[in-house]
Chain A
Amino acid sequence: MIAISHLDKHFDRLHVLKDISLTVQTGEVLVLCGPSGSGKTTLLRTINGLESIDRGSITVDGKTIDPKTSEIRALRQGIGFVFQQFNLFPHLSVIDNITLAPRKLKGLTREAAEAKAMQLLDRVGLRDKRDVHTDTLSGGQQQRIAIARALAMEPPVLLFDEPTSALDPEMVGEVLAVIRELAQDGMTMLCVTHEMGFARDVASRIIFMAEGAIVEDTTPAQFFTAPESARARAFLQDILGH
């Protein structure tokens, strides 16, 4: 489904991604973790073509991701992205946030797009928020709407960049529950998160990154009981607080 091969990326002198190779099969749920600054966000952004790459290749369903080509727009429709800061469109109501892309990009009628959006609102548990303004919503609600907005394009793959780290603790659960359900429905996902309980339950693989490289690519059971690298052990000790 996703194939990344020998990817290198620099920000000026900073070598942020070092010889990354990674394949993701349909239906897999990958959790990416690692210390802050290790390049997790940048890696996700390259998969969506929001960042260019210096060397190597990325393909999604066999098609090459290259932000400089005009096909990138069509490809992005098939790769949903959920941001840490939600990035809802504040000038639109909840329903318009969800229906804008399907209407303008897929040519759906307003009725068809809204019918679909209502299903998605049900799925994220926010049916009654249909017509409200996004700035009246809590952070957890905004992130659930952002997930619905991404799902409205029916992408085969979803990328999550720390979807719960901008949230107050009491709202983390409601967002993780939505993602968990997507995983159970067989959605292919890459999720950057430090929610280790969630990772243990949901991930089919854990990718541990440090300083721009993939240090471990393993199962949750292996990663949480017997991490191979000293770095991963230190990271887990830090994050689990013992």
Chain B
Amino acid sequence: MIEILQEYWLQLLIGGFPHTPLGGLALTLVLAVSGLVLAMPVGLLMAVPLRSRLKPVRALAELIIFYIRSVPLLLHVLWVYFLLPAALGVSFPPAITMLITLVLFNGAYISKIVVAGIDALPRGQTEAAMSLGFGPVQTMRFIILPQALRNMLPSLVSQLSLLIKETALGAAIGATEATQTFLDLANNLPGQAIQAYALLALAYFALCYPLLLLGRRLERRGRRTAKIALEPAS
């Protein structure tokens, strides 16, 4: 394993870059982080119809999000891979296809996290804002969302570790993220496949484990402040 690392570390880290587009673990990270960053506004937008006052709007949004969440991610990847070029007449590099899929898929999950975060706030927050004269949009913007986003932080951190693992499906459409890079490597090193896959597993673990710890810490801190907020009269 050490020999593989010594020989191929640069390739595993960044793929064939700069001669080819960015690949390897770097691409995995770029996909996961940019996927999460872009999925947040998408999730916020998707949360709007979920909290609509009109029941049909709510029902339709629920249905679409339920569909997105109940179909395996691999199928979404294939849809975007085959359908988007057919529909738009342009084809995207595999990494971009993967990014679009991740953003839509995670947007659907994040929309549910947003709604839960909003609904978890005490009703008195909205009422206090309205009694001062804030309208619904201003109340959302100045009072509700800042608190909901702060409460969502632990969930978003675990979402990032999910994204890191989800990028592995890029291998199905030839995006040279970490898994594809290691698969290629294993092909070139007959008899050393097990070592290569073990390295790959270690790499994912090394990325996700700190996120797990961070998520736990944020959650503990969140619970502490929530508790203080619930017991003000002391």
Q: Does A205 contact B (CB under 8 A)?
A: no
Interface size band for B: 20 to 34
Residues 80-100 (chain A) with a chain B CB within 8 angstroms: 80-81, 83, 85-91, 100
Measured CB to CB, the closest approach of chain B to A133, in angstroms, equals 9
Chain B residues positioned under 8 Å from A48 (CB to CB): 131
- 1/0 per residue A31-53: CB within 8 Å of B? 00000000000000000101000
Residues 119-159 (chain B) with a chain A CB within 8 angstroms: 122, 124-125, 127-135, 138, 142-143, 146-147, 150
Q: Does A182 contact B (CB under 8 A)?
A: no
Measured CB to CB, the closest approach of chain A to B125, in angstroms, equals 6
Q: Quick one: closest B residue to A88, CB to CB?
A: B128
Give the interface centre of A83, A90, A137 by most chain B CB atoms within 10 Å: A90
Give the interface centre of B133, B143, B233 by most chain A CB atoms within 10 Å: B133
Q: Does B206 contact A (CB under 8 A)?
A: no
Complex CA distance for A87 and B3, rounded to whole angstroms: 62
Chain A residues positioned under 8 Å from B142 (CB to CB): 100, 104
Q: Do B125 and A135 touch (CB < 8 A)?
A: no
Q: Does B56 contact A (CB under 8 A)?
A: no
Which one of A81, A85, A137, A138 contacts B131 once the chains associate, using CB atoms below 8 Å?
A81
Which one of B124, B143, B229 contacts A135 once the chains associate, using CB atoms below 8 Å?
B229
Q: Does B225 contact A (CB under 8 A)?
A: yes
Complex CA distance for A126 and B157, rounded to whole angstroms: 38
* Contact count A vs B, C-beta below 8 Å: 79
Looking at the complex, which of A8-16, A69-77, A196-204 is the stretch in contact with chain B?
A: A69-77
With known contacts A90-B229, A100-B142, A168-B234, A73–B128 Cβ distance under 8 A = no
Q: Does B232 contact A (CB under 8 A)?
A: yes
Q: Do B134 and A101 touch (CB < 8 A)?
A: yes
Q: Do A167 and B233 touch (CB < 8 A)?
A: yes
Q: Does B54 contact A (CB under 8 A)?
A: no
Q: Quick one: closest A residue to B135, CB to CB?
A: A73
Q: Does A7 contact B (CB under 8 A)?
A: no
Complex CA distance for A168 and B234, rounded to whole angstroms: 7
Measured CB to CB, the residues of B under 8 A from A are 122, 124-125, 127-135, 138, 142-143, 146-147, 150, 225, 228-229, 232-234
Subset of 11 A-B contacts with CB under 8 Å: A73-B134, A77-B133, A81-B128, A83-B128, A85-B122, A85-B124, A87-B125, A105-B138, A139-B232, A153-B133, A167-B233
Complex A-B, nearest 3 residue pairs according to Cβ-Cβ distance, in ascending order: A139-B233, A77-B133, A87-B128
